[in-house]
Chain A
Amino acid sequence: SYELTQPPSVSVSPGQTASISCSGDKLGDKYACWYQQKPGQSPVLVIYQDTKRPSGIPERFSGSNSGNTATLTISGTQAMDEADYYCQAWDNSAVIFGGGTKLTVL
């Protein structure tokens, strides 16, 4: 079955750029999306169709997807961006989630 692999954790200093990767076989041939989840809250869609931001999502969130890796980039990271991030794709009529990455802003 298809798998998406994310690093368990990423750390970034405030104001710097955070990059979170999501790897899967030929992931670039599919659309990837990203969710942000803060403690005790439901996930929130932050990127869809690889690069698009839903209404209300700050411009500092961006995405890319090529080859076997999709990447979520947060520019000028703020303390409020500290959260778990999950990538997601669709493969063989099934929703696939990555294992999640805890972003720490310190």
Chain B
Amino acid sequence: QLQLQESGPGLVKPSETLSLTCTVSGGSISRSNYYWGWIRQPPGKGLEWIGSIYYSGATYYNPSLKSRVTISVDTSKNQFSLKLKSVTTADTTVYYCARQLAAAGTGTYYFDYWGQGILVTVSS
């Protein structure tokens, strides 16, 4: 059974960089046709996609966050990571990592496995 687990600091100061890692177990991050994504959700609000990465390093980012986001992958550790720079209190949310099926030929894109989520608070 595939499992994803987010890890990282739960508290980040304003203007600093938020860094999170997602560790994938029970399957290879290098599997074809699967991207690996980050999604966030402010408390009591909806889901917002941050970006996704393929094991080759190819990335897609949410245009509204693109200037502040970097997603990277480490296939040797079966991990992928998120960096969000210049954070503000508006970046206080639960961050999820998830596996994304991405079949461009059929236009099929969806998240089928999710981590449990990690709450990151931006506060001084």
Contact = CB atoms under 8 A, between A and B. Distances in A.
Q: Is the interface of A mostly helix, strand, loop or mixed?
A: strand
Interface string B33-68: 000010100000011110010000000101100000
Q: Is the interface of B mostly helix, strand, loop or mixed?
A: strand
Contact of B52 (A42, A89, A95, A100): A95
Interface bin, chain B = 20 to 34
B34 to A, nearest CB: 14
Interface stretch (A9-17, A18-26, A43-51, A67-75): A43-51
Given A42-B116, A95-B37, A95-B52, A100 B47 contact: yes
A48 B108 contact: yes
Interface residues on A, range: 20 to 34
Interface of B: 37, 39, 46-49, 52, 60, 62-63, 96, 100-101, 106-112, 114-117
Interface of A: 1, 30-31, 33, 35, 42-45, 48-49, 54, 86, 88-90, 93-100
